[in-house]
Structure 1
Amino acid sequence: MNGSNEKITPTQATVALVMTIIGVGIVTLPRVSAEEVQTPDIWISMLFSGGITFVVAFFITKLCLRFKGMTIYQFSPILVGKWAGLVFNLFIIMYFILVSGYQARSMAEVLRAYLLDKTPIEAVIIVYIAVGVYIVISGIYPIVKLLQIYFPVVLVFIFFMLGLSVTNVDLNNLRPVLGEGFKPVVNGIKPTTLSLAGIESFLILIAYMQRPQQAMKAAAVGIFIPLFLYILIVIAVIGSLTVNEVRQLTWPTIELVKSIEMKFLLLERFESFFIILWVITTFTSFIMNFYFASLGLSQVFKKAYKPFVYGLIPFIYLCAMYPEDINGVFKLADYIGNFAIIITVIIPVLFLIIAFIRRKRNAKN
C-alpha cells in the first residue's frame, strides 16, 4: 500500500500538520529566539511569525487548489516545463532529506546528553531510521492514523508539563514588555517563523484530502495549535529561567523540566518522561518528511514507491552524521532554515504567479 489512492479528512490533515510542525523546536526554540531577541518579548515575535505563516498557508492552498489531486511534484513540470520542474522537485526532495537527517541527529544528541550517554550515537540513529522505514513504507494513510493516536497524548503531556512549571514562573522575568522597542521583536521574527516550518507539507497533503476546499481551514487550525503551544513554552521557559540564562543553555526546555518537582507523585527525573514524549513528537515529524522525500522521488521518476524508501536510508543517515558536534547540528539547522524560506515562500509564490499569468493568457487566447 503506497498511499497514492488513500484519502484523508481535513481533521487528519490538521493533525498531520500539527505533528509535522511540533518537533525539535520544543527544546531549541527558546534558546534560538533568545539569542536573537535578547529581551523577554519573544512571545510577541511568535505572534508576528504566526501571522506570516498564515499568509504562507494561504498562498500554498491557493496554488494547490488550482491542481486538485496533484502534488507539487506532479504539477511543477506543467507550470515551468519538464526540466525546470525536475530541478525544483529535486530541490524540494533534498530539503525533506536534510530535515529528516537533522531531526534524527537532534534526537540522538538529546538522548546522548540525558539518557543514553554511553550508547554510540550511530546506533541510536540507525534504530530511529529503521523504525521510521517500518512506518513510512505503508504510505500516507497509515502514517496519519498513527499521528492521530499520538496527537492527544502529546497535547496532554505538554499541558501537564506547563501546568507543573507554573509555580516556577516569575512574571518579573517577562518584563518589561517592549522595553527596548520593536527592533528586538523584529530580530526574532525569522527564528520563530522557522520554528513553525512544516506548512510546506500541504504542498503534498492537499492532493490526498477528501475535501480539498477545506484545506485553508485545516491549515489555519494546524498552525494555530503549535503556535499556541510554542508561545506557552517560551513564556514558561523565559519566566522560569530568564532570557540571559536561556541563551547559555543548549536545551533550555529540558532544563525547565528538570527543575519541576513532583513530590506528591513520588517521581524523580521527570525529564526522562519528557524526553520520551519529545522523541515521539520528533519521530512523527521525521516520518512525515521521510515520506515526502520518498513520494517525491517516486512521482518524479514514475517508479514504484517502496524502493525509494529503502534507497533513502543511507542518504538520511549521512545527513544525520554530517555535523561533527552539537555546534555543527545548530549550523545545519540554520542552513535548513534558509532552505525552508525558499521552499515555503519563494517557490509557492513564484508558481502561483506563473499559474495566474498562464491562466490569463489562456483566457485571452
Structure 2
Amino acid sequence: MANTRTITTLQSSAILVSTIIGVGVLPLPLFAVRAGDAGAPLVTLLGAIVGFCGLLLISLLGMRFPNKSIVEYSEDIIGKWPSLIGSLAIIAFFAILTSLAAREFGEVVVTSVLKNTPLEVTVIVMLLLAAVSTRNNLVTFSYIHLFYFPFLLGPALLIVALSLKNADVINLQPIWGNSQAHMLPGIITIASLFQGSFVMTIVIPAMQKPNKSIKASFVAMCIAGGMYVIIVIAAVGVFGAEEIKNLLWPTLELAKATSLPANILERMDAAFLAVWVTAVFTTLFSSYYLTLRFISHLFGSKDHNMFSFFLLPFVFIMAVLPQNILQMYEIIEEIGRIGLLVTIGYPALLFIITHIRGKRGDRVEEQPLDTDH
C-alpha cells in the first residue's frame, strides 16, 4: 500500500535538497543581480524565504491530512470539480517545469561540453533517464535521493568555498543594492527556483513521523537556501554585479575561475559540471515522478509506471519548443512566476478553507500501541 510509512525525516530532507538544487544553479546569480545589483544575496535570501512559505503550507496541510497527497485531500476540502481544476493545473505546471529543466540542461551541455551533439539528443537522453528511474516505488525514490545527496552537496560547497578566496567585499556593498525598483520581480523569480519542494506533498504520506515534516522542510530549506545565497555571494564577490550581467551562466564561470590549492586542478568547471549533471537528474527525477504520481491519483490508479513513457513525448515536445536560449529563459522566468500561484497560492487557499471548515484527515499513530490482545 502507498501509505506504508518508511521514509525518515533525514530522507525527506535529502529529497527536498536534491530536488531544489538543480538546473537553476547556473543562471541564479544573473537572476539575482538583475534584480538587486550588489544586493543580489539579499534578493536570494528573500526569495528563499518566500519559497519556504510555500513549503511550510504544504507541510502544515500534510500534517492535517497525513495519509493523502494534495490531489486527494483537495477533493475533501473544496469538492470534486474545483479540486480537479487545481490538480490539472499542478500536473500541467510540473510537466512544463520538467520539460524546461531538460531543455536548459541540453543547452548547457551542447554549449559547454558536447558542441557537435544535437540539442535534441541530450534532452531526450536525460528525459529517458528520468522516465526509467521513475518506474520505482517511493522508497526507492527516497534512497536514490539520499544516495546522491552527499555527492551533490560536498563538491558544490568545496568549489564555492575555494572561490571565496578571490572575492572582494567591496563588490557586495551596499548589501541592500543600489536600487530597489526591480527587487520584487527578482524575489519572485528566485522563489520560483524552490518550487521543486512541492514534492513534499507525496513524501509526507510515506513519512514515519508526518509531524516532523516541518522540521525536515526547515532543515532542507536552510541547506538549499543557504547554498543558493553562498553561490550568489561568491559570484558577486568575485566578478562584481556589472560583470555578471554580461555572463549567461555566472556559476559556471565561477567554477572556471576557481582552482584547487597548489594548482592540483587549475579549473574546477569539469568537476562542477559533473556535480551539476547529478543535480539536474535529481531535480528532473522529482518533477517527473511528481507529475506521474498526480496523474495516477487523478485516474485512481495505484500504479504510476504505466504513465512513465506515455508522458515522455509530450514533455520532449514542450522541451524543444523554445526557439533559442534567450527565449527559453524568458519562458522559464514567466512560467516560474505564474507557477507560484500553483505552488503557493493554491496550498494557501486550501489551508484557509480547511481552517474555516475545520477539516482534518485521519490521525496517524506513529508508534502503534500493542493491540494484539
1:126 equivalent in alignment to 2:118: no
Alpha carbons of 1:63 and 1:179: their partners in 2 closer, same or farther (altered >3 Å)?
closer
Alignment correspondent of 2:322: 323
Task: Pick closer, same or farther for the CA change 1:150–1:179 going to 2, 3 Å.
Answer: closer
Take 2:277 and 2:66, find their aligned partners in 1: how far apart are those partners? 34
Q: Secondary structure at the match of 2:259?
A: coil
Cα gap change, 1:263 to 1:225, in 2 (>3 Å): closer
The alignment status of 1:245 with 2:243, answered yes or no, reads yes
CA contact (8 A) 2:258 2:266 kept: no
CA deviation map 1:282-332 (0-9, x unaligned): 110100010010011111001331111111111111121111110121022
Supply the distance in 1 between the matched residues of 2:49 and 2:161 (Cα, whole angstroms).
Answer: 27
The Cα shift of 1:186 comes to 4.4
User: Over residues 194-221 of structure 1, what are the superposed CA-to-partner deviations in whole Å (9 max), with x where a residue is unaligned?
Assistant: 2222232222221121110111111111
Give the corresponding residue for 1:150. Answer: 148
Please tell me whether the aligned partners of residues 100 and 316 of structure 1 are also in contact (alpha carbons under 8 angstroms): yes
Matches within 5 A, 1:154-303: 154-178=152-176, 180=178, 183=181, 185-186=183-184, 188-262=186-260, 264-303=262-301
Residues in 2 aligned to 1:67 and 1:6: alpha-carbon distance in whole angstroms: 14
| Cα distance in structure 2, aligned partners of 1:153 and 1:353 | 39
Q: 1:216 to 1:262 in 2, by over 3 A?
A: closer
Counterpart AA for 2:338: F
Larger deviation: 4-13 or 277-286?
4-13
Report whether the alignment pairs 1:13 with 2:2: no
Residue in 2 that maps onto 1:306: 305
**How far did residue 263 of structure 1 move?**
7.0
Q: Is the CA contact (8 Å cut-off) linking 1:20 and 1:285 kept in structure 2?
A: yes
User: Comparing both structures, which one devotes a greater share of its residues to helix?
Assistant: 1
Residues 56-135 of structure 1 aligned to structure 2 (within 5 Å) = 56-135=54-133
C-alpha distance in 2, partners of 1:281/1:321?
21
Provide the C-alpha distance between the structure 1 equivalents of 2:102 and 2:222, rounded to a whole number of angstroms: 26
Alpha-carbon shift at residue 239 of structure 1 (Å): 0.7
Amino acid at match of 2:252: I
Q: Give the SS at the match of 1:314.
A: helix
Tell me the C-alpha RMSD between the 2 structures.
Answer: 1.9
1-side partners of 2:334 and 2:4: how far apart? 35
Structure 2 counterpart of 1:336: 335
Superposed displacement of residue 268, structure 1:
4.7
SS at match of 2:332: helix
Shift of 1:269: 4.5
1:265–1:71 CA distance, 2 compared to 1 (3 A): same
Q: CA deviation at 1:336?
A: 2.2
Contact 1:34–1:243 at 8 Å: present in 2 too?
yes
The structure-2 alpha-carbon separation of the partners of 1:91 and 1:82, relative to structure 1 and needing over 3 Å to count, comes to same
Deviates more, 1:351-360 or 1:307-316: 351-360
One-letter amino acid of the counterpart of residue 50, structure 1: A
Please, which runs of 5 or more residues in structure 2 have no aligned partner?
360-373
User: Taking structure 1 as reference, are residues 323 and 4 closer, same or farther at Cα in structure 2, changes over 3 Å only?
Assistant: farther
User: Against the structure 1 CA distance between its residues 179 and 301, is the aligned structure 2 distance closer, same or farther, given a 3 Å change threshold?
Assistant: closer
Moved more, 281-290 or 263-272: 263-272
Among all aligned residue pairs of Structure 1 and Structure 2, give the percentage whose two residues are the same amino acid: 29
Compared CA separation, residues 90 and 186, structure 1 to 2 (3 A): closer
By how many angstroms is 1:193 displaced? 1.9
Alpha-carbon distance in 1 for matches of 2:113, 2:318 = 23
- Whether contact under 8 Å (2:99, 2:316) holds in the other structure is yes
Does the Cα contact within 8 Å between 2:18 and 2:152 map onto a contact in 1? no
1:182 is displaced (CA, Å) by 5.1
- Say which SS state the counterpart of residue 311 (structure 1) adopts: coil
Task: For residue 3 of structure 1, report the CA deviation from its aligned partner.
Answer: 5.9
- Contact persistence 1:260–1:270 (CA under 8 A): yes
Measure, in 1, the Cα distance between the counterparts of 2:69 and 2:177: 46
8 A contact 2:106–2:122 mirrored in 1: yes
CA contact (8 A) 1:174 1:238 kept: yes
TM-score by length of 2: 0.91
Aligned length: 358
Distance 1:145 1:63 in 2: 25
User: What's the CA shift for 1:55?
Assistant: 3.0
Deviations, residues 247-266 of structure 1 (Å, cap 9, x unaligned):
11110111111112347354
- The aligned counterpart of 1:363 is none
Amino acid of the residue matched to residue 310 of structure 1?
A: F
